[in-house]
Chain A
Amino acid sequence: QQPVQSPQAVILREGEDAVINCSSSKALYSVHWYRQKHGEAPVFLMILLKGGEQKGHEKISASFNEKKQQSSLYLTASQLSYSGTYFCGYRSGNTPLVFGKGTRLSVIA
Chain B
Amino acid sequence: DGGITQSPKYLFRKEGQNVTLSCEQNLNHDAMYWYRQDPGQGLRLIYYSQIVNDFQKGDIAEGYSVSREKKESFPLTVTSAQKNPTAFYLCASSPTGQVTYEQYFGPGTRLTVT
On A, residues with C-beta under 8 Å from B are 2, 29-30, 32, 39-44, 47, 49, 55, 87, 89, 91, 93-94, 96-102
Min C-beta distance of A44 to chain B, whole Å:
5
Q: How far is the CA of A96 from the CA of B50 in the complex (A)?
A: 10
On B, residues with C-beta under 8 Å from A are 31, 33, 35, 40-45, 48, 58, 88, 90, 96-97, 99-100, 102-108, 110
Contacts of B33 in A (CB 8 A): 96
Question: Which of A41, A87, A91 has the most chain B CB within a 10 Å cutoff?
Answer: A41
Contacts of B96 in A (CB 8 A): 94
Question: Which of A29, A32, A101 has the most chain B CB within a 10 Å cutoff?
Answer: A101
Q: Is the CB of B103 within 8 A of A97?
A: yes
Q: Is the CB of A101 within 8 A of B42?
A: yes
Q: Is the CB of B103 within 8 A of A41?
A: no
Q: Is the CB of A87 within 8 A of B43?
A: yes
User: Number of contacts between A and B (CB, 8 Å)?
Assistant: 54
Q: Is the CB of B99 within 8 A of A98?
A: no
Query: Knowing A41-B105, A47-B100 touch, does A99 contact B90 (C-beta < 8 A)?
Result: no
Among B42, B48, B88, B105, the residue within 8 A (CB) of A96 is: B48
Among A42, A43, A47, A55, the residue within 8 A (CB) of B90 is: A42
Contacts of A40 in B (CB 8 A): 107-108
Q: Is the CB of A99 within 8 A of B42?
A: yes
Q: How far is the CA of A93 from the CA of B44 in the complex (A)?
A: 18
Question: Which of A49, A55, A100, A102 has the most chain B CB within a 10 Å cutoff?
Answer: A102
Q: How far is the CA of A93 from the CA of B99 in the complex (A)?
A: 7
Q: Is the CB of A101 within 8 A of B45?
A: no
Q: Is the CB of B107 within 8 A of A41?
A: yes
Contacts of A43 in B (CB 8 A): 105
Q: Is the CB of B40 within 8 A of A96?
A: no
Contacts of A47 in B (CB 8 A): 100, 102
